[in-house]
Amino acid sequence: MSTINRQFRIAARPVGMVKESDFEYAEGNVPDIADGQARIRTTYLSLDPSMRGQMENRADYVAPLAIGDVMRAGGVGVVDASRNKELPVGALVAGSLGMQDYNVTDGRSLPVRVYPADTDPTVALGVLGGTGMTAYFGLLDLGEPKPGQTVVVSGAGGATGSVAGQIARIKGCRVVGLAGGAAKCAWLTDELGFDAAINYKSQDVGAALDAACPNGINIYFDNVGGEILDLCLARIAMNARVVICGGISRYNAQGPIPGPRNYFNLVFRRARMEGFIVLDYAKRFPEATRQMQQWIDSGELKHRATVVEGFRNLPKALIQLFQGENIGKMMVKV
């Protein structure tokens, strides 16, 4: 066992695009455990767009982070020492482990999910982790898909969007994904079964949406906000549902954030736009995990991870996420 607990701490509040200098590398001692506790050795850490807001303390659904705090991050790890019978040595667990090698928990102070020991850790962190849960509850509970409806997903080449679109397809919907780059668009249509993919970097998105959605958009699953949200609001069908999951286009923006010009279509089309936080569904995660695992086992639900090697590359990998360099889930093997 290592005697060093590597960490990345917040060194500055980001201004504009996140920078490596917004983080400080530090080394501490590996923590000991007391009765009722277990120690987790992190193996993979997740990089997610929401981390940008947490660094600025704009994400008021989680505890604030101060300068000098270990950066919050979801992770998967293995219990390497235990005095807690519910968390035996060797157990594979997932939770908010932070950008560090080791964590100590009694199972309550740091809630963790325990997975079967043979679970692929990239699956536990990805499609069966927070982003998979986000796609499941956002699409099914808020989107309420019906067979034959048209579902548009932005950020469809990422961890959440790629799963949300596949769930819509499983439910019998016609699915259109928006993604940045030819490789991501090909993945959506050739491997994931999307009916159409729009490359927002090279295509006229409005014209492409008109061609792909001639009868309008019944469900728009939004991961980006900004101009794409506005273009989709202009094309919603009667009684449409707009699910606000994320807004990656605004996370690194500076200055006032403009609101959507076409929001009044919600009135004209008797539509609904609603945001959500996946943590509100935590008690139902086992339900979603069982169903998602069935879809994975049957081959109906596919997944992909972009894995960056090395703990010291965590800040760089977060920047790469915002630059759109990932396909599927972005994570670091520490």
pLDDT at residue 257, as a whole number: 73
pLDDT at residue 162, as a whole number: 98
First vs last C-alpha separation in the chain: 15
Are 212 and 176 in contact, with CB atoms under 8 Å apart?
A: yes
Show the domains of the chain with their CATH numbers: 4-126+305-333 (3.90.180.10), 130-279 (3.40.50.720)
Taken in order 253, 257, 261, 264, the sign of the CA dihedral is: positive
280 exposed, middle or buried (CB, 10 Å; 0-12, 13-18, 19+)?
exposed
Which of these, 200, 199, 138, lies nearest to 165 by C-alpha position?
138
pLDDT at residue 228, as a whole number: 96
pLDDT at residue 16, as a whole number: 87
List pLDDT tens digits, range 45-63.
999 999 998 998 877 778 8
pTM here? Answer: 0.93
Each of the 334 residues of the chain gets a pLDDT tens digit; together they read 678 999 999 999 999 899 999 999 999 999 999 999 999 999 999 999 999 989 988 777 788 899 999 999 999 999 999 999 999 999 999 999 999 999 999 988 899 999 998 999 999 999 999 999 999 999 999 999 999 999 999 999 999 999 999 999 999 999 999 999 999 999 999 999 999 999 999 999 999 999 999 999 999 999 999 999 999 999 999 999 999 999 877 666 667 777 789 999 999 999 999 999 999 999 999 999 999 999 999 999 999 999 999 999 999 999 999 999 999 999 999 9
pLDDT at residue 253, as a whole number: 62
pLDDT at residue 259, as a whole number: 79
Distance CA(146)–CA(142), nearest Å, equals 12
Are 33 and 104 in contact, with CB atoms under 8 Å apart?
A: yes
Strand 236-244 to 217-222 pairing: parallel
- Torsion-angle region of residue 135: left (phi > 0), alpha (psi -120 to 50) or beta? alpha
pLDDT at residue 58, as a whole number: 75
